[in-house]
A and B are shown apart, each in its own frame.
Chain A
């Protein structure tokens, strides 16, 4: 498999390149298809490339992120075979992943079916040009993926499947680059007139090794299967999952709670070793008669205390229908985070500076636990922390955050009075016209305006949307008070209708 073309930020059809600093000049590290079609290629200095394609968009390459992404892909590929790894720096530079599918292909219906499935899934992740090679040896598969797999034709497309025992003939016709050799070695071979692997294989070994070092002969042997090449798979990823099977089905809530506590405790040593805590947990309970019951809880900070996690689940067990009993339970930590990461303080710089007092973090932890319990019982969306947003539109001035966002403004900018209750605009029936009306009917009651304050004109956000809003879309807000002292927030909308928008104390 080769690494796909760089995915471009501003659309796939515009020339885009990743740039790496080499020596003093910036050179292209990878280009997309549009750039390739325009005539630039990896290895070209950026200034030259800009001369060819002035519109070339360039971004710095991030090799570490590439390796991390490949690692994630290799980990994901363990769904096809337990033995996967990524290409190291000695493998010719281009990033790819290896899969040792020995003994696994039949599970997917053969090598061709496995390759097709793998390619389809990886393409589904957004990698545009995925090429696969399947062969008897690592070296042959590497060469097949790069030099034999065709993007558009072939059956299946993008996959080169070398038949068993046929590597030799196919490899002989390939250029010497197909041997995973460093660029300088390839350059020397070309200067010597050795262009194809067949040319190389025909040469006597001793002078070849004396001239170019042991690597060339070694790679040749690896590719042809004459010498074994060690395969070092990535360490397996153990899922955060614990299962408990009961000798007798259980049904009482107390028993279920106790089982959950056992499961939570089972994670503790591993979480402590990794210095991590659970953020999201999924509990699956297998009922004797078939259905699988799910319960999911989240925590607002990484947590590994079995008692607290059990309490979270207990809030969700109210409507549990155990039927004839539960025979097995599986607890999966679907999100795990480093334990040391602390949530930002609830309150910064107000009043008595509680963060400076001892025990403040303990209080915050208590509040976080409370939030988790409330969210487990009411649903995550029902427990909100309001956060200010810069907007004059009363409806858009509040956003709800599950966690206090860092760097949000502390409060709203001073405006004209705002009601503590904001209602959806409710039209009133005007009985005595004026601005604002002196008598109107709202919620089955006559209101007589004794005093009024306004208008506060709030224009819609004209910078949103393609067309400027009509001037009559501006809304005039009035504060009115009736003879008894009740205060309402009246608004006249674009259609000159009067509505109640809120109530003031």
Chain B
């Protein structure tokens, strides 16, 4: 923290001009030092769009859908709901593979039924319409949406709606997407993009499954650097923790942060 106040002000002005993090105070600290340090805001910025995708190359994911990404999204939405107190609107396409949400499972990820509303729209256009309506409603804690074919314009619309309404949007990749259609990973003007893949859990002493492990990659982050972690979700203690940072160069978040500030 050796830089001058004028530099701080300048940085703040740039952020305002960029349109993201208009009010820097609205940030959700994720409570994990490794993640919060990698994000230039010190946490997940609110009132903007975040994208969470799975691994479209994984043949297993073609069968299960991006379920690890779903778990991570639900955790983020649960944290937003707990902080805000308002409900979360989850928009899916009616009758699609995404329309199998099971609220008791979501409750175990921290999202209580009292704060969950599910909107089932007839087609992708309506899913996006629902998301946009939700993002413009300041009473909501977060809006989660799963739609195919989210192009640049649609993503920009969602981003603007989120900034106008101050509601955080989570764009989750839909199920049943091959590589050919982009797997819902199309380039979207989201503030951050996370890729979440399952990893084998660490063996445990008892006959059973240990905490689920995910490989979480922060692929894109406006004003920040990509980073990668292996995270563990314990369904008994409801604790998310960083299992081990991956030493692949790009993942060293703290170094990236220092370099950026220098």
Q: Which A residues contact B (CB, under 8 angstroms)?
A: 346-348, 350-354, 360, 362-367, 369-371, 373-374, 377-378, 382-388, 394, 397-398, 404, 410-412, 415, 417-423, 442-445, 447, 450-453, 479, 481-488, 502-505
Contacts and interface: CB of A to CB of B under 8 A. Distances in A.
Nearest to A423: B100
A367 B235 CA distance: 31
B137 A370 contact: yes
A156 B175 CA distance: 67
B126 interface: yes
Contact of A450 (B68, B84, B200): B200
Contacts of A444: 63
B12 interface: no
Given A347-B87, A351-B83, A445-B59, 19 more contacts: A350-B112, A352-B85, A360-B85, A363-B86, A367-B139, A384-B117, A385-B118, A386-B103, A386-B116, A388-B103, A388-B104, A397-B104, A423-B100, A444-B63, A452-B209, A453-B208, A485-B198, A502-B102, A505-B67
B104 A481 contact: no
Contacts of A365: 139
**Lowest 3 A-B CB distances belong to which pairs?**
A505-B71, A354-B85, A363-B139
Contacts of A404: 114
21 contacts: A347-B85, A347-B87, A352-B83, A353-B85, A363-B139, A365-B139, A370-B134, A382-B120, A384-B117, A386-B103, A398-B104, A411-B107, A417-B108, A417-B235, A421-B67, A451-B203, A452-B209, A484-B60, A485-B200, A502-B102, A503-B65
Contacts of B70: 420-421, 505
A262 B235 CA distance: 55
Nearest to B129: A377
A230 to B, nearest CB: 56
A374 B198 contact: no
Interface in B64-108: 64-65, 67-68, 70-72, 74, 81-87, 89, 94, 100-108
A377 B72 contact: no
A370 B103 contact: no
B118 A384 contact: yes
Contact of B102 (A350, A362, A420): A420
Contact of A350 (B60, B85, B122, B212): B85
A383 B117 contact: yes
A373 B130 CA distance: 9
A479 B119 contact: no
B133 interface: yes
Chain B interface size, as a band, is 35 or more
Contact of A385 (B86, B117, B201): B117
A452 B107 CA distance: 23
Given A353-B85, A411-B113, A418 B108 contact: yes
Given A378-B119, A383-B119, A412-B107, A453 B60 contact: no
A486 B138 CA distance: 36
Contacts of A503: 64-65, 67
B26 interface: no
A394 B112 CA distance: 17
B45 to A, nearest CB: 19
A420 B121 contact: no
B102 A418 contact: yes
B214 interface: yes
B196 to A, nearest CB: 8
Nearest to A482: B60
Most chain B beta carbons < 10 A, residue from A346, A479, A502, A505: A505
B109 interface: yes
Nearest to A368: B139
B5 interface: no
A346 B115 contact: yes
Nearest to A454: B208
Contacts of B162: none
A347 B129 CA distance: 25
B140 interface: yes
A329 B108 CA distance: 50
Contacts of A366: 137-139
B103 A398 contact: yes
A410 B112 contact: yes
A64 to B, nearest CB: 37
B193 interface: no
Contacts of A415: 104
Given A346-B115, A367-B87, A502-B102, A481 B209 contact: yes
A505 B231 CA distance: 12
B207 interface: yes
B85 A487 contact: no
Contact of B104 (A346, A394, A423): A394
A458 to B, nearest CB: 13
B142 to A, nearest CB: 12
B229 interface: no
A335 B74 CA distance: 37
A352 B233 CA distance: 25
B113 A422 contact: no
Contacts of A451: 201, 203, 208-209
A487 B114 contact: no
Nearest to A374: B119
Contacts of A382: 94, 119-121
B199 interface: yes
Most chain A beta carbons < 10 A, residue from B89, B94, B105, B203: B105
B213 interface: yes
B74 to A, nearest CB: 6
Interface in B197-247: 198-201, 203, 207-209, 212-214, 233, 235
Contacts of A482: 60
Contact of B209 (A346, A394, A484, A487): A487
B133 A374 contact: yes
A398 to B, nearest CB: 5
B209 A445 contact: no
B138 A420 contact: no
Nearest to A357: B85
Nearest to A487: B212
A186 B7 CA distance: 103
Contacts of B137: 366-367, 369-370
Contacts of A445: 59-60, 62-63
B102 A422 contact: yes
Contacts of B86: 346-347, 354, 363, 367
A485 B71 CA distance: 14
B101 A420 contact: yes
B185 to A, nearest CB: 18
B140 to A, nearest CB: 6
